[in-house]
């Protein structure tokens, strides 16, 4: 480029501004370098040289100076190599010695090159640097080419075009006209494209609606199958202890969820996928894969938390998130992470109690509150043990479960949960020093477990409780000075545990239970030998 007189210029323009106007200077610099000159003006020869397609490069002194070089030398070189000077005029610029010197230096180097004033704030009297209006020995006061970018002046758009016209040396009217024509063509093109798109969309709408309906039908069928896998089929497999079959069920259900675009799924489908994660995590936990299980639980918790946040008064969302908090809390407790366990289990209990407040006679909500309070009971019985808190929580848990059975009108349906609540309350009484109460509750638990097994001898959850209560009663009998009864109880527990492990050798929880029972017997026999010596 040149300045119109044949002398080469490195920069199309030099922008001078006060440090306090750095943001304005940066914005103006970016806008000038991004501006595209209307095509019909490009290539025309003007007093400023040949009109370019773009205005760059434009020098901005605070940005383009290398930190390691002399500032004065760089400014002088940049001013010497600039085809014009743009001064950002504000009250701060008028007070800036730096801006004043740059204007004076440019005029001394290029007395015939244009100086453009970009009035950003204030009046010319308030904002023009003194050197901008000073003349020299042969001239009086100089009026710079000014563009008032304030809304009350030329306005941001016209004021900017004034600067462009001054930089490239074309008439403002012509630039405004060409710029308006270009913008009109752009709007026309966009409108034409929009109309074409509307026509295409009109043609595709019928097909899209049909495809969406078919996709919704297929998704409903697939989710119906997933729901069956999560409920009836899973309940049957759990009852008979078939973890291997449940793994295949989980895999199919997870594959379905992973194939979906979760961002597009409705809340009900998202909640179903969260349940898939929770149930597959529970099966991994039973197989001893606790880290993998926790990853599934945490992923489910993120999903249900988002669903609850979007609809906090919805009881289904409360319920779904409660299940996630329960899973995370129970596994954290098993992993001896008491802080995470307490946080999750208290959140679980809070959600369950909120549901009971909504519907005090809802058996499902009462049962969940019993589960939640039972988990807090378990936490209190984990070292460091808090006997009083454990007793309070365990009592409430049993009361909630009994209320659920009464509200349901079918006590037998709650036998498994009632057996579990009796067991924990027995442990709480024992920690509080009342073995008689503990034994009474264990015997009550035994009645419930026998009732369960009479209804279904293959109920492996009831079998697990049978082993656990025999071990607990054995310990109570030994403490009470009845070693023969203790030995008998331990042998009963071991026989049941052997049968469970034979039924499913891959079940890590059952194998652990059997190992503990063997250890109990070994300790009992050793203590008896020592006592009799």
- Examine the domain organization and report whether 401 and 533 are in the same domain: no
**CA 460, CA 188: separation in Å to the nearest integer?**
74
Contact 395, 424 (CB under 8 A): no
Q: What is the pLDDT of residue 224?
A: 47
Instruction: Give whole-number Cα distances, 189 to 128, 183, 192, 295, in Å.
Output: 42, 10, 5, 51
What residues contact 212, with CB distance under 8 A and at least 6 apart? none
Band (73; pLDDT cuts 50, 70, 90): confident
The CATH number linked to 513 is 1.20.58
The 3-state DSSP class for residue 140 equals: coil
**CA 489, CA 520: separation in Å to the nearest integer?**
11
Q: What is the pLDDT of residue 259?
A: 58
Global pTM value: 0.51
- State both tokens at 21: 């106007």
- Examine the domain organization and report whether 447 and 460 are in the same domain: no
Q: Is residue 485 part of a domain?
A: yes
Looking at the structure of the chain, the number of domains it has is 3
Contact 493, 470 (CB under 8 A): yes
Q: Is residue 204 part of a domain?
A: no
Instruction: Give whole-number Cα distances, 199 to 77, 192, 194, 196, 202, in Å.
Output: 58, 11, 9, 5, 5
Q: What is the pLDDT of residue 368?
A: 96
The 3-state DSSP class for residue 89 equals: strand
Whether the pLDDT of residue 392 is over 90: the answer is yes
Sign of CA pseudo-dihedral 116, 119, 124, 128: negative
Whether the pLDDT of residue 451 is over 60: the answer is yes
- Check residue 2 and report its DSSP letter: B
- Examine the domain organization and report whether 492 and 435 are in the same domain: no
Percent residues over pLDDT 70 in the chain: 79
> What is the arithmetic mean of pLDDT over 434-445?
96
Helix, strand, coil in percent for the chain, rounding step 5: 75, 5, 20
Q: Is residue 229 part of a domain?
A: no
- Examine the domain organization and report whether 421 and 504 are in the same domain: no
Q: Is residue 219 part of a domain?
A: no
User: How many CB atoms neighbour CB 102 within 10 A?
Assistant: 24
The 3-state DSSP class for residue 289 equals: coil
Residue at which a domain ends, from 170, 189, 205: 170
How many whole angstroms from its chain centre is CA 131?
Answer: 57
Average pLDDT of every residue of the chain:
84
Q: Is residue 197 part of a domain?
A: no
Residue at which a domain ends, from 436, 451, 466: 451
Peptide bond into 294 cis (omega under 30): no
**CA 473, CA 443: separation in Å to the nearest integer?**
8
- State both tokens at 12: 């199309």
Q: What is the dihedral of CA 460, 462, 464, 466, to 10 degrees?
A: -140
- Examine the domain organization and report whether 425 and 485 are in the same domain: no
Q: Is residue 208 part of a domain?
A: no
Whether the pLDDT of residue 128 is over 80: the answer is yes
Q: What angle do CA 490, 492, 496 make, to 5 degrees?
A: 115
- DSSP H or E run through 145: strand 145-148
**CA 12, CA 81: separation in Å to the nearest integer?**
9
Q: What is the pLDDT of residue 223?
A: 46
Contact 226, 254 (CB under 8 A): no
Least reliable range by pLDDT among 86-90, 426-430, 435-439, 505-509: 505-509
> What is the arithmetic mean of pLDDT over 112-134?
90
What residues contact 65, with CB distance under 8 A and at least 6 apart? 71, 74, 75
Whether the pLDDT of residue 363 is over 80: the answer is yes
Write out pLDDT tens, residues 175-215: 887 777 776 666 665 655 655 656 556 556 555 555 555 44
- State both tokens at 49: 């040289």
Q: What is the pLDDT of residue 283?
A: 83
Q: What is the pLDDT of residue 143?
A: 65
**CA 511, CA 490: separation in Å to the nearest integer?**
16
**CA 151, CA 157: separation in Å to the nearest integer?**
9
Q: What angle do CA 386, 387, 393 make, to 5 degrees?
A: 90
Peptide bond into 518 cis (omega under 30): no
- Examine the domain organization and report whether 492 and 389 are in the same domain: no
The residue with tokens 């209307």 is: 38
End-to-end CA separation in angstroms for the chain: 112
Contact 301, 330 (CB under 8 A): no
**CA 154, CA 120: separation in Å to the nearest integer?**
11
- Examine the domain organization and report whether 400 and 465 are in the same domain: no
Q: Is residue 249 part of a domain?
A: no
Residue at which a domain ends, from 451, 477, 499: 451
Q: What is the pLDDT of residue 214?
A: 46
> What is the arithmetic mean of pLDDT over 485-489?
94
Question: Whose CA is closest to 438, among 417, 423, 420?
Answer: 423
- State both tokens at 293: 């299980």
Whether the pLDDT of residue 324 is over 50: the answer is yes
- State both tokens at 84: 């014009």
Q: Which domain holds residue 126?
A: 13-170
């Amino acid at each position: 480029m040149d300045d119109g007189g044949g002398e080469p210029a490195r920069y199309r323009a030099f922008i001078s501004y006060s440090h306090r106007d750095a943001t304005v200077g940066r914005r103006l610099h970016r806008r000038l370098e991004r501006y595209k000159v209307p095509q019909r003006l490009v290539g025309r020869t003007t007093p400023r040289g040949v009109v370019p397609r773009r205005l760059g490069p434009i020098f901005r002194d605070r940005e383009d100076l290398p930190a390691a070089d002399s500032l004065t030398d760089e400014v002088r070189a940049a001013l010497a190599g600039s085809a014009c000077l743009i001064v950002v005029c504000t009250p701060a610029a008028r007070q800036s010695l730096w801006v004043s010197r740059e204007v004076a230096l440019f005029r001394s180097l290029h007395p015939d090159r244009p100086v453009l004033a970009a009035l950003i704030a204030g009046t010319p009297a308030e904002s023009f640097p003194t050197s901008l209006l000073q003349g020299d020995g042969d001239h009086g006061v100089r009026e710079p080419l000014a563009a008032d970018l304030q809304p009350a002046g030329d306005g941001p758009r016209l004021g900017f075009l004034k600067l462009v016209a001054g930089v490239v040396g074309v008439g403002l009217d012509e630039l405004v006209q060409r710029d308006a024509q270009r913008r009109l063509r752009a709007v026309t093109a966009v409108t034409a494209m929009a109309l074409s798109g509307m026509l295409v969309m009109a043609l595709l709408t019928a097909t899209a609606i049909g495809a969406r309906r078919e996709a919704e039908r297929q998704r409903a069928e697939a989710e119906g199958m997933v729901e069956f896998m999560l409920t009836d089929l899973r309940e049957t497999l759990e009852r008979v202890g078939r973890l291997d079959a449940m793994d295949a069920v989980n895999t199919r259900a997870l594959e379905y969820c992973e194939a979906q675009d979760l961002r597009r799924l409705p809340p009900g489908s998202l909640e179903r996928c969260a349940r898939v994660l929770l149930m597959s995590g529970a099966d991994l936990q039973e197989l001893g894969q606790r880290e993998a299980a926790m990853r599934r639980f945490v992923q489910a918790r993120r999903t249900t938390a988002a669903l609850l946040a979007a609809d906090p008064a919805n009881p289904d969302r409360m319920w779904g998130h409660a299940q996630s908090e329960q899973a995370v809390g129970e596994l954290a407790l098993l992993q001896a992470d008491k802080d995470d366990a307490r946080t999750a289990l208290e959140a679980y209990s809070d959600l369950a109690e909120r549901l009971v407040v909504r519907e005090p006679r809802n058996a499902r909500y009462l049962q969940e509150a019993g589960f939640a309070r039972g988990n807090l009971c378990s936490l209190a019985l984990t070292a460091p043990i808090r006997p009083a808190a454990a007793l309070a929580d365990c009592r409430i848990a049993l009361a909630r479960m009994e209320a659920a059975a009464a509200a349901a009108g079918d006590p037998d349906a709650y036998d498994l949960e009632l057996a579990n609540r009796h067991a924990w309350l027995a442990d709480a009484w024992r920690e509080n020093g009342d073995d008689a109460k503990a034994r009474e509750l264990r015997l009550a638990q035994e009645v419930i477990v026998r009732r369960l097994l009479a209804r279904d001898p293959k109920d492996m959850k009831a079998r697990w409780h049978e082993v656990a209560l025999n071990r607990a009663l054995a310990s109570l009998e030994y403490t009470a000075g009845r070693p023969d009864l203790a030995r008998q109880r331990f042998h009963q527990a071991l026989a049941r545990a052997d049968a469970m492990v034979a039924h499913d050798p891959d079940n890590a929880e059952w194998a652990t239970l059997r190992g503990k029972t063997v250890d109990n017997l070994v300790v009992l026999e050793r203590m008896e030998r020592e006592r009799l010596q």
